[in-house]
Amino acid sequence: MTSQPPPETRAPSGAEEMTLSVGPPAHGGHCVARPAQDPAGRVVFVRHALPGETVRARMTERSAKIWRADAVEVLQASPDRVASVWPQAGPGGVGGGELAHVALPAQRTWKRWVLADCLRRIGGQEVHAAVAGLPEAAGSGSIAVEPMPSEADGAAHAQERRRAPGTATRTRVSLSVGPDGRAGMHAFRSGTVLPLDRLPLAVPAIQGIGLLERSRWRKHYRPGARIEAIAPSAGEPLVLIDGQVLTASARSTGRRRVEEVVEADALGLGPLRYSVHAEGFWQVHHQAPEVLVERVVRAALGARPGPDPSGPAPDLAEAGSGRRVLELYSGSGLLTLPLAMLVGSSGLVLSQEASGRAVGDARRNLHGWSRAHLATGRVTPRSVGRAATAFEGRGPDVVVLDPPRQGAGREVCRAIAALAPERIVLVACDPAALSRDLAVLLGSGYRLAAMSALDMFPHTHHFETISVLERG
- pLDDT tens digits for 30-75? 999 999 999 999 999 999 999 999 999 999 999 999 999 999 999 9
Instruction: Say if residue 441's pLDDT is above 80.
Output: yes
**Domain co-membership, 292 together with 379:** yes
Instruction: Say if residue 306's pLDDT is above 50.
Output: no
Q: Are 324 and 318 in contact (CB under 8 A)?
A: no
**Domain co-membership, 451 together with 307:** yes
Q: How many CB atoms lie within 10 A of CB 76?
A: 13
Q: Among candidates 55, 63, 65, which has minimal Cα distance to 2? A: 55
Instruction: Say if residue 4's pLDDT is above 50.
Output: no
- Residue 264's DSSP bridge partners are 270
pTM: 0.93
Helix (H, G, I), strand (E, B) or coil at 13: coil
Predicted confidence (pLDDT) per residue in 333-355, tens digit: 999 999 999 999 999 999 999 99
Q: Among candidates 135, 142, 139, 70, which has minimal Cα distance to 110? A: 142
- Residue 285's DSSP bridge partners are 170
Distance CA 238, CA 256 (A): 8
Half-sphere exposure of 297 (CA within 13 A, CB side): 32
For residue 176, the enclosing domain spans: 172-253
Distances (CA, A) of 367 to 113, 153, 182, 276, 371: 43, 39, 43, 14, 10
Predicted confidence (pLDDT) per residue in 251-284, tens digit: 999 999 999 999 999 999 999 999 999 999 999 9
Predicted confidence (pLDDT) per residue in 98-112, tens digit: 999 999 999 999 999
Distance CA 401, CA 326 (A): 8
Domain count, the chain: 3
Q: What mean pLDDT, rounded, does the chain reach? A: 91
**Domain co-membership, 160 together with 191:** no
**Domain co-membership, 329 together with 445:** yes
Across residues 344-372, what is the average pLDDT? 95
- Is residue 9, in this structure, part of any structural domain at all? no
**Domain co-membership, 134 together with 238:** no
φ, ψ for residue 137, nearest 5 deg: -105, 5
Distance CA 250, CA 191 (A): 27
- DSSP class of residue 246? E
- DSSP class of residue 330? -
Q: Which of 25, 56, 81 is the last residue of a domain?
A: 81
Q: How many CB atoms lie within 10 A of CB 309?
A: 10
**In the annotation, is 118 catalytic?**
no
Across residues 144-157, what is the average pLDDT? 79
**Domain co-membership, 322 together with 459:** yes
Half-sphere exposure of 194 (CA within 13 A, CB side): 21
- Is residue 357, in this structure, part of any structural domain at all? yes
- Is residue 373, in this structure, part of any structural domain at all? yes
Helix (H, G, I), strand (E, B) or coil at 238: strand
Residue 243, C-beta contacts closer than 8 angstroms, at least 6 positions apart: none
Q: Which of 204, 229, 253 is the last residue of a domain?
A: 253
For residue 129, give the CATH number of its domain.
3.40.50.150
For residue 44, give the CATH number of its domain.
2.40.50.140
Distance CA 333, CA 280 (A): 12
Predicted confidence (pLDDT) per residue in 119-146, tens digit: 999 999 999 999 999 999 988 899 999 9
Burial of 240 (0-12, 13-18, 19+ CB in 10 A): middle
Distance CA 119, CA 117 (A): 6
